């Protein structure tokens, strides 16, 4: 294990966190906070701690070789997210009165993993500097801290490809001729432009500048943190909800495909396969939710009903987690549909969570092939996705990933039910589902109008682990527990 390169990457993570804390402190001062208030002082302490840790990490890794292999990349990514979660919890501990350590870590982890679940019932009373940190952490976590570094640091060389392909949900092969750093830079540029467009849309749609900036960051990141206690229901604005729907869908669409279209490179129709499935699944879900709302209200469908169905279906499937209504009060079929949407998620290579629609499609096609083979064993049925023929290894990796996620969910339900015996089955199920798939709100005790504060500390810490596992798609964290990973580098 070449630990030196890992420490050097951790130095970059800590410096980025220090820069974020500095920005949050500045926002607080601009919005009327003073150095006598908790906010600026807390962020000053957080900056000092981050810089001290960065200097320590740099000193430890100063004499190592710059070689970065796959195991170092996986290790660096997993440790980076764990470290960022702990350091990111410092402002909550210093600012929020009587803040428990588990609550601070939970909130920090929920932000960086773009989950959007909260452990605080009074977050809307936080000072502006802390509210901005909640949103900024989601914005940074949306595209991934490591992707930012790949776009900026040329010193990684060939290691950039390994980092990018392991941190992001898109493969580095999406960029031709191996120009991964340039491709990551285009992703970052697109992310910035998309955020700016969302910000201006919200501002001219009725939000003030502070609300627009915060909601733009959490919308594009598909994170779902809001500055308001009742999320989008607070604004009572059809226009703002349609704006949110548009940008949530765009943020859950494969970034590389959109970038190529914007640059005039029209891809083959087969390249849109995953996107077609995503939009088709979403449209069908909106239609079904509208029908369920008609049954619930007993009235004919109108514009408000369709908008509510579209907003919640989009928010859940893109794993953003905004709420414009209390969907926990909807009919059981509507809740079941939302649970399915939580599981499916958005497109690969986007900021959305879930298992990704591409894996669902590949698994369904593999199942269909197995059914055909049961009575026509000599027939060769290739499995294709995005115009490419998938080999057996690729199909097997998808199936194994799905089995791992389902197994992890079952084990986690057993764990949470043991630590929280008062929770109902649906409460246990949705608390695990909403954190593992980075959704945010769930049902019952952790519904859209509730929070996770009442859970025990050990439960919240375990749910933090689930958030990171879901955000990094398991392997970058699981490999940390493999003894062979830590063998000495040679």
421 token code pair: 């015996």
Per-residue pLDDT tens over the stretch 309-334: 999 999 999 999 999 989 999 999 99
* More confident of the two residues 94 and 390: 94
Structural domain range at position 449: 392-486
Whose tokens are 């064993």? That residue is 377
Q: Give, to the nearest 10 degrees, the angle between helix 128-143 and helix 145-152.
A: 70
Query: Of the ranges 16-25, 69-78, 278-287, 366-375, which one carries the lowest mean pLDDT score?
Result: 69-78
Residue 384 phi, psi (nearest 5) = -115, 150
Do the domain assignments include residue 231? no
Do the domain assignments include residue 404? yes
Contact status, residue 17 vs residue 50, Cβ threshold 8 Å: yes
Residue 342 in this model has a pLDDT that exceeds 70:
yes
Q: How many CB atoms lie within 10 A of CB 266?
A: 9
**pTM of this structure:** 0.91
26 token code pair: 């500045």
Per-residue pLDDT tens over the stretch 245-299: 999 999 999 888 888 888 877 656 666 788 999 999 999 999 999 999 998 887 7
Do the domain assignments include residue 402? yes
Do the domain assignments include residue 152? no
Is 170 exposed, middle or buried, given 0-12, 13-18 or 19+ CB atoms closer than 10 A? buried
Per-residue pLDDT tens over the stretch 33-89: 888 888 999 999 999 999 999 999 999 887 766 666 677 777 888 888 999 999 999
Do the domain assignments include residue 87? no
Do the domain assignments include residue 119? no
Q: Would you place residue 159 in the very low, low, confident or very high pLDDT band (cuts 50, 70, 90)?
A: low
Provide the number of structural domains found in the chain.
1
Do the domain assignments include residue 437? yes
Is 371 exposed, middle or buried, given 0-12, 13-18 or 19+ CB atoms closer than 10 A? exposed
Whose tokens are 């690729």? That residue is 394
- What dihedral do alpha carbons 24, 30, 35, 39 form, nearest 10°? -40
Q: How many CB atoms lie within 10 A of CB 251?
A: 26
Residue 385 phi, psi (nearest 5) = -150, 125
Do the domain assignments include residue 479? yes
Average of pLDDT values for 111-136? 94
3-state secondary structure of 414: helix
């Amino acid at each position: 294990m070449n630990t030196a390169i890992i420490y050097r990457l951790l130095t970059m993570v800590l410096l980025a966190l220090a820069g974020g804390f500095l920005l949050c402190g500045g926002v607080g001062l601009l919005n009327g906070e003073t150095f006598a208030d908790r906010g600026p002082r807390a962020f000053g302490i957080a900056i000092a701690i981050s810089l001290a840790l960065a200097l320590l990490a740099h000193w430890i890794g100063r004499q190592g070789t710059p070689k970065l292999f796959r195991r170092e990349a996986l290790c660096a990514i997993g440790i980076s997210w764990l470290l960022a979660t702990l350091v990111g919890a410092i402002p909550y501990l210093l600012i929020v009165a009587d803040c428990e350590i588990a609550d601070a870590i939970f909130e920090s982890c929920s932000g960086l993993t773009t989950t959007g679940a909260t452990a605080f019932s009074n977050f809307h009373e936080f000072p502006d500097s802390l509210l901005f940190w909640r949103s900024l952490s989601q914005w940074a976590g949306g595209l991934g801290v490591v992707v930012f570094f790949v776009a900026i640091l040329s010193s990684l060389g060939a290691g950039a490809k390994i980092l990018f392909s392991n941190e992001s949900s898109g493969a580095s092969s999406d960029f031709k001729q191996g120009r991964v750093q340039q491709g990551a830079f285009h992703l970052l540029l697109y992310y910035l432009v998309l955020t700016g467009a969302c910000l201006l849309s919200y501002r001219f749609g009725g939000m003030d500048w502070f609300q627009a900036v915060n909601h733009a960051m959490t919308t594009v990141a598909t994170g779902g943190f809001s500055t308001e206690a009742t999320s989008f229901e607070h604004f009572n604005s059809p226009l703002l909800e349609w704006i949110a729907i548009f940008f949530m869908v765009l943020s859950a669409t494969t970034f590389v495909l959109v970038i190529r279209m914007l640059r005039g490179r029209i891809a083959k129709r087969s390249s849109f396969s995953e996107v077609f499935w995503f939009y088709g699944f979403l449209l069908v879900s909106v239609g079904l939710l509208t029908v369920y709302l008609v049954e619930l209200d007993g009235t004919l469908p109108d514009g408000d009903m369709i908008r509510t169905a579209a907003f919640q279906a989009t928010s859940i499937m893109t794993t953003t987690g905004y709420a414009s209504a209390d969907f926990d009060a909807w009919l059981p079929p509507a809740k079941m549909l939302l649970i399915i949407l939580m599981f499916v998620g958005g497109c690969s290579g986007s900021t959305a969570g879930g298992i990704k629609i591409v894996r669902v499609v590949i698994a369904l096609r593999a199942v269909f092939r197995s059914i055909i083979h049961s009575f026509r064993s000599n027939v060769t049925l290739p499995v294709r996705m995005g115009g490419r023929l998938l080999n057996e290894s690729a199909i097997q990796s998808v199936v194994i990933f799905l089995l791992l996620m389902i197994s992890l969910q079952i084990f986690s339900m057993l764990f949470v039910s043991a630590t929280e015996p008062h929770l109902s089955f649906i409460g246990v199920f949705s608390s695990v589902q909403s954190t593992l798939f980075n959704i945010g709100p769930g049902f019952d005790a952790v519904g859209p109008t509730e929070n996770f504060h009442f859970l025990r500390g050990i439960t919240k810490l375990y749910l933090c682990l689930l958030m990171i596992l879901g955000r990094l798609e398991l392997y970058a964290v699981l490999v940390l527990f493999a003894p062979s990973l830590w063998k000495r580098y040679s």
